[in-house]
Amino acid sequence: MNGYDFDRCQAYTRHMEQQHRRLNDQLRRLHDELQAAPQTPAMTIQTDLQSLKRELAAHFLEEEQGGCLEEAACRCPSLTHEVQVIEGEHRELLAQLESMITRSSQSLAVLPEDLERFSAAIERHEAKEDHVIEHGFNVVVDA
């Protein structure tokens, strides 16, 4: 791999890691807010859920429009099916988040359990993305 390719791979990897960190920070903040639920206004939690949805939708759109995953599959065509599976999960994850937003407007009581399941699904999804990046660019992704 020449220096230009190495720099591009590093840039893709750093970008993905930064996006994952930002999304995970938002999820942690929501977990913290729910633990302090009586003191945290429901409107704050709903606003943060909406913010997470916007951030996640932008992340998914970027991936689907020729981002890191597509570049990794171009470099290693055997990853194409994995990328298709990952991209297929995007709509489902956004639907889960939208359902949580709707349910939170009625009651916050079920939200901690919903958020825990959603966080686990995001973690599994990110692990799949990391796998594609690692194999497509022959790098190690910091988790």
Residue 53 within a domain:
yes
Largest distance between two CA atoms of the chain: 56
Counted domains in the chain: 1
Residue whose structure tokens are 């996640």: 56
Distance, CA of 19 to CA of 59 (rounded, Å): 7
Are the beta carbons of 13 and 132 closer than 8 angstroms?
Answer: no
Distance, CA of 72 to CA of 67 (rounded, Å): 9
Q: Which domain holds residue 46?
A: 3-137
Residue 55 within a domain:
yes
Residue 45 within a domain:
yes
Residue 127 within a domain:
yes
pLDDT of res. 109: 84
pTM: 0.88
The list of the chain residues with pLDDT below 50 reads 2
pLDDT of res. 143: 60
Pinpoint the alpha helices (H) of the chain. 3-35, 42-64, 68-75, 80-104, 111-137
